[in-house]
Structure 1
Amino acid sequence: MAAWALIVGSLGACAIDPYPYPTPAPRAPAPLTDNDPLPPAQQRGKSRWTPVRWAELPGWGQDQLHEAWNAWVRGCERPVSGHTALCGEVRQLSIATPAEQQAWVVRRFQPYRVSEPDGSLSQGLLTGYYEPILPASRVPTATHRTPLYGPPDGLRPGQPWYSRQEIDTLPAARAALQGKAIAWLADPIDALILQIQGSGRLNVSEPDGSQRQVRVAFAAHNGHPYQSVGRWLLDQRAISEASWEAIKAWAARNPQRLNDMLWSNPRTVFFREEKLSELDARFGPRGAQGVPLTPGRSIAVDPQSIPYGTPVWLATQGPTLSQQKLVLAQDTGGAIVGAVRADLFTGWGGWTDPAYTTAAALKQPLQLWVLWPR
């Protein structure tokens, strides 16, 4: 689902838990003092975790931890191995004071600085992604001619199906997708953005004249590699920066070459439609962990570096964001590869909303520390 890097290369809702709380865990260990030895470093696939003391986390003690607690509670619906026993305490602490929450985190967790597998601290990268809200029609019209498809019959994961160009031009591909259109958009670039983001909300006009909002979520793709249309335009020196504004402006000036640009990316994403209840609308789509995303507190990571469900301390400083805060690793994306790499979920909205403008502009240095049970 993570997205903006692909162009070139708290909620206050109360989480409702339908399950009874487990038996309280044994008494937590006392926090480490400056004189206590730290645990050993851990090698984790594509990353190395080096233990540090809490005082080494920039901004620790200044974040409003309660703003991250709903994301943590939602993550406990599918907890990472090693965290399950703590989830009952996480739920109980939803109504605790900030000081109580912070003291509990310090007692229960050990922070580890995330670095490359060889231990080097190369500069990480933070980008952003969001859930677009787009107008759509349930049937094709004179203005809404770009379909969003559900998966075709016979699509097999890992096996290439028709490319984007073949879907647009081959009768056999069109026949395979007959009856699979979920809705129709007016702008093919909006459809591409939706495919890159991986999910979105549609304000759908129905044939009877009514309107309703639905969510479309990632269901599958056609098995072809992703290629950046922004990179394609940069390579041709058609644009000087790979932003969606620049891409759309170029397309408006060069309508005869629009398909050439779109077909430079052979990957097509297929969606499934989901009902959007009042509660669902207060959270983002489900990420790769299988739980709803929380704006500003859910990140996409490389799961070979940081397991889904892990609480993470994030520090970044740049023109778009200057923050040190608690986030939860709850998603991944095609461009999210490596140790110190994250995509921040910024929320949902249209082209002028903060969720979009923040996600579009976010590309800056990053430091990460995982919090792992002691």
Structure 2
Amino acid sequence: APESARPLPPPVPRPAHLPPVQSSKHFAKASWQQLPGWKTDPVEKLWRPFLANCRSIILRTGRPASTSAPQMADPYAWQQTCAAARELPPAPTADAVRAFLEHWLQPWSVRDPNGEQATGLATSYYEPLVHASRERGGDYQWPLYSVPADLLTIDLGSLYPELAGKRIRGKLDGKRVVPYDTRSEIERPERQPPAIVWVNDPIDAFFLQVQGTGRAVLDTGPGQGSTIRLAYADHNGHPYVSIGKWLIDRGELTMSQASMQGIRAWARKNPGRVKEMLNANPAVVFFREEAVLDPSEGPKGAMGLPLTPLRSLAVDPSIVPLGTPVFLSTTQPNSKQPLNVAALAQDTGAAIKGPARVDVFWGFGDEAGEMAGRMKQPSRLWVLWPKGEGVPAPAR
């Protein structure tokens, strides 16, 4: 059964030693009237993922907070609200969902270091589709790798609590841990990890890595005609370097030309330099294969739940705890047309740092990619937190 259809566990009393948090530099109380477009957002689209979110949060009640995972919303704060959510019909109207959220939740505006409402940046990501084969041959020359057997992921939070959530990647060189291989080093035949698939276009393969997940339709060979999901599993620990900036710095493209489409056109004109361009970015993402059980569902985010187009956001979990409903006020990609939506903080990203900085999941396929590629808009953010439970806070 889908997450949202499963019954929620019963409420668990908050332990006496975990009182609600009472203050935070990141938030200030707000009113529903301050949320632009709140009354016109079709919030019924949030309900199914909201129930799945509730279940995921409450199942964490009583578990110690992980030192390595992103900070999750305090599950005790959500006990009563999530219990009350079970009383609504399975497919409530927008008015019913709006009334429920207004009754049970309190909006908190996300503040900047000066105590003012933060203006951040909203970008967007999506789930691309690539054409691939299980076997290398012909046009299918661009690998998407599984996790190498010798990749070490070291959780610094288990050694130093002040570094909770921080990890480093590397490999053993004798008794020393050294940085893992760069993109160009991984390409050496003796270093290549197993490839899950081979893709027919280098730019498609590269941008699937940038997105961190995607689907591959198998054009030839074993499984021909089927579609699999390539889900993020790990990375080699090197920082991402923009190949668009690399092309601009060398005078190959202007800033206005350095879009996904412009990079693709450059690669077609310069096939002999494609590897040189790709290797300018030392970072490599590794994947695991998943079945696509429901084509309408997105990939799983950092909470392990399927992402919902326009209703799932990647956030900075050091400010907005994962699992928290939020209200985002921004504009449509490359436009001044308002985009005001109630959403869920369900994912994270290496570039998503700071108050009101969000990455909106736009969905699957080329059309979603076209929109996501143009999204770089100013944003404001409100966290929606249960009334009477203090300010938004992570599990402790």
TM-score class, shorter-chain normalisation, is: 0.7 to 0.9
**Do structure 1's residue 364 and structure 2's residue 342 form an aligned pair?**
no
Contact 2:109 2:117 in 1 (8 A): no
Q: 1:236 offset after TM fit, Å?
A: 2.2
CA–CA separation in structure 2 for the residues paired with 1:216 and 1:209:
15
Contact 1:313 1:325 in 2 (8 A): yes
Q: 1:24 offset after TM fit, Å?
A: 11
| Structure 1 residues 18 and 333, CA gap change in structure 2 (3 angstroms) | same
**How many residues are matched?**
335
After TM superposition, the runs of 4+ consecutive aligned structure 1 residues lying more than 6 A away are none
Structure 1 residues 340-355: aligned runs within 5 Å: 340-350=356-366, 353=367, 355=368
SS at match of 1:282: coil
| 2:101 alignment partner in structure 1 | 105
Contact 2:11 2:79 in 1 (8 A): no
| Structure 1 residues 113 and 16, CA gap change in structure 2 (3 angstroms) | closer
CA–CA separation in structure 2 for the residues paired with 1:50 and 1:41:
9
Which of the numbers 165, 187, 192 marks the counterpart of 2:184?
165
SS at match of 1:370: strand
**Do structure 1's residue 88 and structure 2's residue 101 form an aligned pair?**
no
| 2:7 alignment partner in structure 1 | 19
CA–CA separation in structure 1 for the residues paired with 2:253 and 2:98:
47
Structure 1 residues 74-153: aligned runs within 5 Å: 74-79=52-57, 80-81=73-74, 82-93=77-88, 94-153=90-149
Instruction: Give the fraction of aligned pairs with identical amino acids, expressed as a percent.
Output: 40
Contact 1:40 1:50 in 2 (8 A): no
SS at match of 1:365: strand
Q: Give structure 1 stretches of 5+ with no counterpart.
A: 1-12, 26-38
Read off the aligned partner of 1:42 and give its amino acid letter: S
Q: 1:207 offset after TM fit, Å?
A: 2.2
Read off the aligned partner of 1:283 and give its amino acid letter: E
| 2:164 alignment partner in structure 1 | none
SS at match of 2:136: coil
| 1:68 alignment partner in structure 2 | 46
- Output the aligned Cα RMSD: 2.2
Read off the aligned partner of 1:113 and give its amino acid letter: S
Q: Give structure 2 stretches of 5+ with no counterpart.
A: 14-20, 58-72, 154-167, 171-178, 388-396
**Do structure 1's residue 42 and structure 2's residue 27 form an aligned pair?**
no
| Structure 1 residues 230 and 42, CA gap change in structure 2 (3 angstroms) | same
| 1:211 alignment partner in structure 2 | 225
CA–CA separation in structure 1 for the residues paired with 2:222 and 2:130:
19
Contact 1:150 1:270 in 2 (8 A): yes
**Do structure 1's residue 53 and structure 2's residue 31 form an aligned pair?**
yes
CA–CA separation in structure 2 for the residues paired with 1:60 and 1:218:
34
Read off the aligned partner of 1:323 and give its amino acid letter: L
| 1:257 alignment partner in structure 2 | 273
Which of the numbers 234, 243, 248 marks the counterpart of 2:259?
243
**Which stretch of the first structure deviates more once superposed, 261-270 or 314-323?**
314-323
SS at match of 1:173: coil
SS at match of 2:129: strand
SS at match of 1:192: helix
Q: 1:66 offset after TM fit, Å?
A: 0.4
Contact 2:11 2:80 in 1 (8 A): no
TM-score scaled by length of structure 1: 0.84
Read off the aligned partner of 1:347 and give its amino acid letter: G
CA–CA separation in structure 2 for the residues paired with 1:40 and 1:239:
52
